Amino acid sequence: MKRAIITFFRILQTGIVNFIRNFSISIAAIAVMVVTLTVLLLSLVVNATFSNTISQITAKIDISVYLRNRDTPSQTTQLITELKSLPNVQSVQYLDKSQVLKQYEVQNANNQQLALAVSETSNPLPATIHIKPKNLNNIENIKSFLVKPNIKDLQSNPPSYSGSLEKAINNITHATDVLRELGIVAVVVFGVICALIIFNTIQMAIFNRRDEIQIMRLLGANKNYIRGPFIVESGIYGFLAAVISVVIINSLFVTASSTLQATTLGLLNISYATSYFDNHFLILLTLQILIGIMIGAVSATIATRRYLKFKLKP
């Protein structure tokens, strides 16, 4: 056990020394890893920002069902129960005529003429049910329920679907999906390029150290002792690349929000993205470091398995 610990620290030390010694040939590997991890981090932050934008807009949208004045309380209760049981319904809120009037007065507090017109009559506003769907892209079942003849009979006017906002949300959702898919494709493509460049770097390092490796083998060094420093070296590439990528993204947001004083960049809410990045800084940094080390270590393991022949042929 003691020997295993000593060997582990020697592998670590050799890996660090080799990294310093071969820094010049590792620059390409680190650079491409920085690009990969930057794209990944940007995708994560952009995705979180878009999700927030969509949920903010979605929260403002509902379906309003206007009831007739002659509907009985039991009819209304039954309708609310049936609406709640629909699969895509998140919440149902019932407002009676007086509550609707109060809401109207609050909403039109600045328009005295409108407020006066309503107060002077005997409250023409109908009792209303507000339905919040779970997913705005899938409200067909709610629509079809509301047009059933027996349900339609309970309504004074056709329901309101906040039509224009729904369309806007559909567009944003679609754009987010496309960007998310592009992000995944970019991360995969850069990940593969990254792995290939690390393969190449490790192959060069193995070639440069072929005499040393041969001597190590002849002296009885085991596979892990020979392979370990290469894996440590690639892990260091990943660690450095992760830190650099976090610094790049941080600088990008700082520049966008302070120097350019921008709050949005196209669909991207810079303020939210910056605060999301700040609030999740440690998690994102840890995630980036783990992913970077994993890409480096896995690539080096595969490369050493491929280029360090450990099997003998008879």
CB of 222 to other proteins, least distance (A): 4
| Residue 4 lies near other proteins (rule: CB under 8 A) | yes
Structure tokens at 212: 């040393």
Which of these ranges, 53-61, 72-80, 206-214, 300-308, lies near other proteins under the rule CB under 8 A? 206-214
Task: At 30, give phi and psi (nearest 5°).
Answer: -65, -45
3-class DSSP string for 166-194: HHHHHHHHHHHHHHHHHHHHHHHHHHHHH
Q: Minimum distance between the CB of residue 200 and other proteins, rounded to whole angstroms?
A: 24
Note whether 70 binds other proteins by CB under 8 A: no
Under rule CB under 8 A, residue 10 binds other proteins = yes
Least separation in angstroms between residue 23's CB and other proteins is: 16
Q: Which of 225, 257, 275, 301 binds other proteins (CB under 8 A)?
A: 225
Nearer to other proteins, 35 or 204 (CB): 204
Report the alpha-carbon distance of residue 309 to residue 210 in Å, rounded. Answer: 11
Applying CB under 8 A, does 309 fall inside the site for other proteins? no
Which two tokens mark 168?
Answer: 């806007």
**Judged by CB, which is closer to other proteins: 228, or 235?**
228
- Nearest residue to 308 via CA among 191, 225, 233: 225
- Whether residue 201 contacts residue 236, with contact meaning beta carbons closer than 8 Å, is answered with no
Nearer to other proteins, 106 or 218 (CB): 218
The CB-of-302 to other proteins minimum distance in angstroms stands at 19
7 binds other proteins (CB under 8 A): yes
Residues 48, 179: Cα–Cα separation, whole Å: 12
When the beta carbons of 21 and 130 are compared against other proteins, the nearer one is 21
Task: Give, in order, the Cα–Cα distances in Å from 45 to each of 178, 183, 253, 258.
Answer: 15, 11, 11, 18
Q: Which stretch binds other proteins (CB under 8 A): 23-31, 138-146, 207-215, 261-269?
A: 207-215
Vertex 16, ends 14 and 19: CA angle to 5°?
105
The conformation of residue 280, written as its DSSP 8-state character, comes to T
Instruction: Check if the beta carbon of residue 107 is closer than 8 Å to that of residue 46.
Output: no
- Applying CB under 8 A, does 306 fall inside the site for other proteins? no
Instruction: Report if residue 314 touches other proteins, rule: CB under 8 A.
Output: yes
The residues binding other proteins (CB under 8 A) are 2-4, 6-7, 10, 211-212, 214-223, 225, 310-314
